Structure 1
Amino acid sequence: MSALESLIGLLELRKADGLVLVAGEPPSLLGGRDRSLTMPPLDAATVTGFLEELFSPEQRALLVAGQPVETEHCSPRSGAFVVKARPEQGRTRIVVRRGALRAASPSPSPSPPSSSAPWPTAAAPSSASASAAAALPLSAPGHGWGLLMPLLARAVEEKASDLILSSGQPPVLKSGGEAVRVDGPVLEEGELAGAFDGLLGEERRRRFAQVGSVDLGLDQELPGHVRPVRFRVNLFRRHGGLTAVLRPIWELVPSLEELGLPRALRRVVEQAHGLVLFAGPTGSGKSTTLAALVALINQSRACHVLTLEEPIEYLFPPGRAVVHQREVGEHVRSFADGLRAALRESPDVILVGEMRDPETIALALTAAETGHLVLSTIHAGSAMGAVERVVGALPELDRSAVRAQLASALRHVVVQHLLPATGGSGLVPAVGILAVNHAVAAQIREGRTQLLATQMEIGADEGMVTLESALAELVRSGRVSREAAMAATTQREALEALLSDRPASRPPRA
């Protein structure tokens, strides 16, 4: 007798009306004399088996797409039952009740509509055939998840920076800047889609449809860990399939010292208000540095901190500060919507995960000018690049006003890169800091950003340091190689001059 038939048999014994099956919970009864069953919680694999036994592949595809389904099950011993299943908070809830489905006129089996398909292509389909092609092949909900567990555990055990899963390819662990293929299952596209689909809400599905990628957070229980381990997940469509990049987020927020960051960064959170930008390429540790600074504020200031993140990575325990964390796609639709609401929520400090669009940038500048300390990241390789990225994101007719507003609101630009340590012992941060004084503000206002590097060179007394000076110090101390330092800068001549103790040529004065 199957496990499902055994559970259905309990309906007769307990005189119950129905049965509820959810992964992570013991089976429970509807009506009758006793609602609870003294049984261990159902695991995901068991519930997946029930779904495969009860529902057709087309119905399971609808479930993965977020749609409820129902069917009729005929038990050899107990007769007919109506079975309904629906997605609920990342899991599937199955309800089995006595009775039969009412007869309906025959109709073709439904297929998931393109608007709710879990992994649509970035381009909207223009016909019914295009709509059918937009959805990936789907497996049962969570079918691929069990295959991922050993890989997640290995990534945490080996302290890997990332686990990369690409459909049709072996898994990859990334550590110390090196990506290495490891033994593990090669997932099909449908398995990878099915594994993650239950974690997506409507807003994230829409974003994936528009841009072809989405970020989310995941808490996963792993053997040997008392608490769930948090992962930052990025899912993206690529040529030939789907890829998921999972980054373990350690439970304790690291301090600036543990991250190897300069103590001078403490100055940026001593500001009462204004904008602080953290620049650097993808994967340069900007969000971890921001988390360390929020933790520092939480320890030292009695204030209200509001974070807008995509996704939430580190969780901040109660401290001197009141910290409220909101996740884009989960608690708020976009960074811009979250910022607009934040202006009415009495924060002292606002963390904006990324300034990626003109509306977010404009709102961040307004918040910084109206008495808030705003911390955010931007994709740029230098202080000059960060300033120009902000100005260039807004309409050309408004740029003169934007330069004036930025010159007034900006307090610091922190440029960060991560370099492989010599000997392959992890990654080392190199940090450049621009502090906005009267001279820097004038150059931003007048559009002479090519002179910012010179201001950083002569502003050591105010805590300024160029990225090239930081790189040169790392090379001299033997922490990184000369080649790695050269690869991290666009100002190779300046770095060469610092390493050879000769003066570098400077940009002409405007």
Structure 2
Amino acid sequence: MVKDAYNLKASDIHIRVGHTPRFRIQGEMVRAKDQVKVTPEVFEQYLIEILSPSQRQQFSHDKELDTAIFYPGLVRCRVNCFDSLSGGAMVLRLISLKVPSIDEMGLPEVLKKIISFPQGLILVTGPTGSGKSTTLAAMIRYLNETAKKHVITIEDPIEFVHPSHRCLISQREVGLHTLEFNNALRSALREDPDVILIGEMRDRTTVNTALQAAQTGHLVLGTLHTRSAINSINRLLNLFNVDEQPAMRIQICDSLVAVVAQLLVPTVENRRTGVHEILVNTPAMRDYLLKGDDESGNQLMESDSYEGMQLLNQSIFEKVVEGRITMEEAEKVSPEPADLDRRFRMAGIDTDGSVRQFKAGKSPFSADG
């Protein structure tokens, strides 16, 4: 089943007692062919294949479990097991064994500059399934090819496996190499790191430790589930009490290197491509963030392309002009469809007319549209 999903370029496999397995392909749930409904007995066999005896005992006790499994020569899978109304269930996220590069993924060039900073906090944000882990993996790969540093990752679970090339890379999995995420994070500060990848900024303890690391000469990479760059700052602040927020705002603004917000959008080739909003913490941006002036911050992101900044709508607009995505898909994912329409009109494009004139699944800018 995993091989079938991999060959179909599925991102996830959904298995549930009483249901036929489904694959997520191009963001949509598709029933797996040549598969039958999963019985409790079959599901138990899957658990035996994937989990160790201690993990099966833990799943029975906690009713949910996160882990990972490796299929040599094929793929790694991030696995979440859980109980549901119909019975046991699991979701497998397929992760390529090959760590992608920034260039292969067509990510913005500014990411190479951002990951090369000696210290500070980098946030990669976006909803679940938007490719945050893949973007972080590509940034770590670039560092591994260009710098001589010690990189520590604390993951739950480990997704991409990074061999040490120019960098020494230490990957730790919660539950396997450490019992507590926050203990591993505190311990990392004593392990002579240059770069610490901590995954989700899940609570105030994580944020405080990450800021401490960023302020004491380390580069820290974290993720959030926000859809825009500036909202990420507000999300971090909301983890703290109102009376603590002014002091935390100063700490965050002093430590921040950049925020990369991203979404995945279906392309005209039936694949998916990333669109990115990028905030670089220049002196001018820092002043706006300190004042909480989100409007001026967004205006600076739109105008300061020299520093590599851009708004999400700028990135979406460029993908349409390149013929990568349709205008329909662009408007679905745009945070401000009216602003996107304005950009099309300013470029001399009648969005309503274009949508009517061009076939579904074609960009108005593609050669055969």
Q: Is this a same-fold pair by TM over 0.5? A: yes
CA contact (8 A) 2:58 2:65 kept: no
Q: Residue 204 and residue 167 in structure 1: after superposition, are their counterparts in 2 closer, same or farther (change >3 A)?
A: closer
- Partner Cα separation in structure 1 for residue 167 and residue 84 of structure 2: 42
- The aligned counterpart of 2:322 is 477
Q: TM-score, normalised by structure 1?
A: 0.64
Q: 1:105: which partner in 2?
A: none
The offset of 1:335, in angstroms, is: 2.9
User: In structure 2, what is the equivalent of residue 176 of structure 1?
Assistant: 26
User: CA 1:189 to 1:382, structure 2 compared with 1: closer, same or farther past 3 Å?
Assistant: farther
1:334 Cα deviation (Å)?
A: 3.5
User: What CA deviation, in whole Å up to 9, does each residue of 1:190-214 have, x standing for no partner?
Assistant: 642552366268689769966x643
Paired residue for 1:199, among 46, 51, 76? 51
Given the superposition, is the C-alpha separation of residues 363 and 194 from structure 1 closer, same or farther in structure 2, using an over 3 Å criterion?
A: farther
The secondary structure found in structure 2 opposite 1:265 is helix
Aligned to 1:369: 215
Alignment of 1:76-225 (within 5 A): 151-182=1-32, 183-189=34-40, 191-193=42-44, 195-196=46-47, 199=51, 213-221=64-72
Note the aligned Cα RMSD (angstroms). Answer: 2.3
> AA paired with 1:159?
K
CA contact (8 A) 1:419 1:430 kept: yes
Conserved? CA contact 1:203–1:329, under 8 Å: no
Deviations 1:243-270 (A, max 9, x none): 3121222221111121121212111111
1:498 is displaced (CA, Å) by 1.4
| Corresponding residue of 1:260 | 106
* Residue 241 of structure 2: aligned partner: 395
Contact 1:208 1:214 survives alignment (8 Å): no
For the Cα contact (< 8 Å) 1:430–1:467, is it kept in 2?
yes
CA distance in 1: counterparts of 2:41 and 2:186, whole angstroms: 38
Structure of larger gyration radius:
1
From 339, 347, 366, the counterpart of 2:193: 347
**What secondary structure is seen at the aligned counterpart in 2 of 1:156?**
helix
User: What SS is found at the alignment partner of 2:82?
Assistant: strand
Between stretches 272-281 and 477-486, larger displacement belongs to 477-486
Higher RCO, 1 or 2 (CA under 8 Å, sep at least 6)?
2
Provide the C-alpha distance between the structure 2 equivalents of 1:351 and 1:204, rounded to a whole number of angstroms. Answer: 29
Bigger mean CA deviation after superposition, 336-345 or 240-249: 240-249
Structure 1 Cα separation of the partners of residues 138 and 113 of structure 2: 13
Listed one character per residue, the Cα deviations across residues 302-336 of structure 1 (whole Å, up to 9, x for unaligned) are 11000011111111112010000001121123332
Q: Which amino acid aligns with 1:240?
A: S
In the TM superposition, what whole-angstrom CA distance separates every residue of 1:189-239 from its partner, at most 9, and x where no partner exists?
4642552366268689769966x6432110125xxxxx3631111223444
- One-letter amino acid matched to 2:2: L
State the Cα deviation string for residues 145-191 of structure 1 (Å, max 9, x = none): xxxxxx11211222222211122111112222222102313223464
Q: Who is 1:50 aligned against?
A: none
Could you tell me which residue of structure 2 aligns to residue 336 of structure 1?
Answer: 182
Alpha-carbon distance in 1 for matches of 2:266, 2:39: 33
| CA distance 1:495–1:206, shift in 2 (3 Å) | farther
Once the two structures are TM-superposed, the CA of residue 455 in structure 1 deviates from its matched residue by: 1.7
Secondary structure, aligned partner of 1:179: strand
Q: Do the aligned partners of residues 204 and 463 (structure 1) sit closer, same or farther apart at CA in structure 2, a change above 3 Å counting?
A: farther
Aligned mates of 2:246, 2:325 — CA distance in 1: 41
Is residue 306 of structure 2 the alignment partner of residue 461 of structure 1? yes
CA distance in 2, matches of 1:209, 1:440: 49
Equivalent-residue separation in structure 2 for 1:291 and 1:355 (angstroms) = 17
| Match for residue 251 of structure 2 among 400, 405, 412 | 405
| Residue in 2 that maps onto 1:489 | 334
Q: Which amino acid aligns with 2:26?
A: G
- Identity among equivalent positions (%) equals 36
How many residues end up aligned between the 2 structures? Answer: 346
1:359 corresponds in structure 2 to: 205
Note the C-alpha offset of 1:354: 1.2
